[in-house]
Amino acid sequence: MFEGFEELQLEANGTNINLVKGGSGPPILMLHGYPQTHAMWNKIAPRLAEDFTVVCPDLRGYGDSAKVEGDPEHMNYSKRVMAQDQVDVMKQLGFDQFFLVGHDRGGRVSHRLTKDHPESVLKLVTLDIIPTRTMFQIVDKDFATNTYHWFFLIQPFDFPEKVIGANPEFYAGRGFARVKDADKVFTPEALADYLRCFNDPGTIHAVCEDYRAGASIDLVHDDADFDQKINCPMLAMWSSTG
């Protein structure tokens, strides 16, 4: 999927992060969403690599990155910790500053990274995401119905882990099937990678912890610096079909 890219495993922030890297030029870090992996960028990254050094990691717990155990405060999957992973990765690759793109969960990590490490981010792009703090404030019946996984995944360990683990391919597959024109959105190779990784109990636990953090410690961090503005140029993008 990433012809000409190299695959690396780097130790960062006390864990191990899997990534692909290719191209040359200014560095751009691209963070995927749920329940995906770095493979989501397979159509875009090779084109960007004509002008940029493109780095596409798996977030901690996702893809082939290490599966860190959760903790009672869900700090291990807080967006602050996940952002630090990526700053450490980029520094190891020789980049103190970079362009940043985040989709879905990666957008949340990108937002926190830009706030915690403003000196690192040249420009920020977020795709298909709204702030977690706002999301919980505006939720209604229709929103909850459409995004049911939010409220399922935040349930205490190990209820969602066991339910998903009984048939992970069915659970993840149903989620992908809900996407409009799914057969055009997901390449067969990328979809196979998502399903392969989601069959790992460690990934299932990591996903749940990611969402639990979003409903707990991430909100604490968001409240603490709510008035702090992002000080780099930012582009927010979304799909016309949702």
Residues of the chain under the 70 pLDDT cut = 241-242
Q: What pLDDT score does 23 carry?
A: 98
Would you give the DSSP letter of residue 124? Answer: E
3: region left, alpha or beta (phi > 0 left; psi from -120 to 50 alpha): beta
d(CA 99, CA 124): 6
Centroid of chain to Cα 113: 12
- Determine contact, residues 89/63, Cβ cutoff 8 Å: no
Where are the domains positioned within the chain? 6-237
Q: What pLDDT score does 239 carry?
A: 81
Q: Two tokens at 202?
A: 């460690």
Range 6-237 has CATH code 3.90.226.30: no
d(CA 31, CA 113): 11
Q: In the chain, at which residue ranges do the beta strands (DSSP E only) sit? A: 6-12, 15-23, 27-31, 53-57, 98-103, 121-127, 234-237
Q: What pLDDT score does 60 carry?
A: 99
